[in-house]
Structure 1
Amino acid sequence: MKPATRGAKAAYLFALAGLLAAAGCTKVSSSPEQGATTSSSTLQAVLQRGTLRVGDCLTFAPFGFYDKDGQPDGYDVDLAKELAKEMGVKLEVVNTTSANRIPNLQTAKVDVVFCNFTRNLERAKVIDFTTPYVVASEALLVKKSSGIQSVKDMANRTIATVKGSTNGDEVRSLGIPVKIQEYDSSQAAILAVKQGQADAMIEDNNFLAYQAKLDPDLVVTNEALVPLEYNAFGVKAGDQQWLNYLNLFLFNINASKLNAQLYKKWFGADPRYALNPQL
Structure 2
Amino acid sequence: MKSLCGIAAVGLFGMATLASAQAQNAPGILQSILQRGTIRIAVLGSLPPYSRVMPNGEPEGYDIDIAKRLAEALKVKPEFIISDIPARVTALQTRKADVTIADFTRNVERSTSIAFTNPYLVTTMRLLLPANSPYKTIAEANEAGIRVAISRGGTAERAVPANMPKAQIIRFNTQADELNAVLTGQADAMAEDNFYNGNAIKENPGKLREAEGDLARAEIAIGLPAGDADWLRVLNLFVDQFNASGDNKKLFQKWFGFEQPPIQAKY
Q: TM-score, normalised by structure 2?
A: 0.87
Q: Distance in 2 between matches of 1:225 and 1:134?
A: 17
2:189 to 197, 200, 219: 200
Q: In the alignment, is residue 92 of structure 1 matched against residue 79 of structure 2? A: yes
Q: 1:38 to 1:79 in 2, by over 3 A?
A: farther
Structure 1 gap ranges (5+): 1-31
1:60-92 residue CA offsets vs partner (Å, 9 max, x unmatched): 111010124321000000000001111111111
C-alpha deviation, 1:277, in angstroms? 1.0
**2:28: which partner in 1?**
41
Q: Distance in 2 between matches of 1:175 and 1:148?
A: 13
C-alpha deviation, 1:222, in angstroms? 5.1
Q: Distance in 2 between matches of 1:244 and 1:35?
A: 23
Report the residue type matching 1:83 in the other structure. Answer: L
1:52 to 39, 46, 50: 39
Q: Distance in 2 between matches of 1:35 and 1:253?
A: 35
Q: TM-score, normalised by structure 1?
A: 0.84
C-alpha deviation, 1:117, in angstroms? 1.0
Q: In the alignment, is residue 163 of structure 1 matched against residue 152 of structure 2? A: yes
Q: Percent identity?
A: 34
Q: In the alignment, is residue 275 of structure 1 matched against residue 263 of structure 2? A: yes
- Aligned to 1:137, what secondary structure does the other structure show? strand
**1:136: which partner in 2?**
123
Q: Which moved more, 1:157-166 or 1:140-149?
A: 140-149
**1:215: which partner in 2?**
204
Whether the 8 Å contact between 2:40 and 2:97 is mirrored in structure 1 is: yes
Whether the 8 Å contact between 2:138 and 2:164 is mirrored in structure 1 is: no
Q: Which moved more, 1:188-197 or 1:38-47?
A: 38-47
Structure 2 gap ranges (5+): 1-18
Q: Distance in 1 between matches of 2:119 and 2:85?
A: 18
- Aligned to 1:169, what secondary structure does the other structure show? helix
- Aligned to 2:40, what secondary structure does the other structure show? strand
Q: Detail structure 1 runs of 4+ shifted over 6 Å in the superposition.
A: 32-35
Count of residues in Structure 1 that have an aligned counterpart in Structure 2 = 247
1:182-208 residue CA offsets vs partner (Å, 9 max, x unmatched): 011100000000000000001111011
- Aligned to 1:110, what secondary structure does the other structure show? coil
1:27-51 residue CA offsets vs partner (Å, 9 max, x unmatched): xxxxx97896475211111111111
C-alpha deviation, 1:150, in angstroms? 2.0
Q: In the alignment, is residue 258 of structure 1 matched against residue 252 of structure 2? A: no
Q: What RMSD over aligned residues (CA atoms) do the two structures have, in Å? A: 1.8
- Aligned to 1:118, what secondary structure does the other structure show? coil
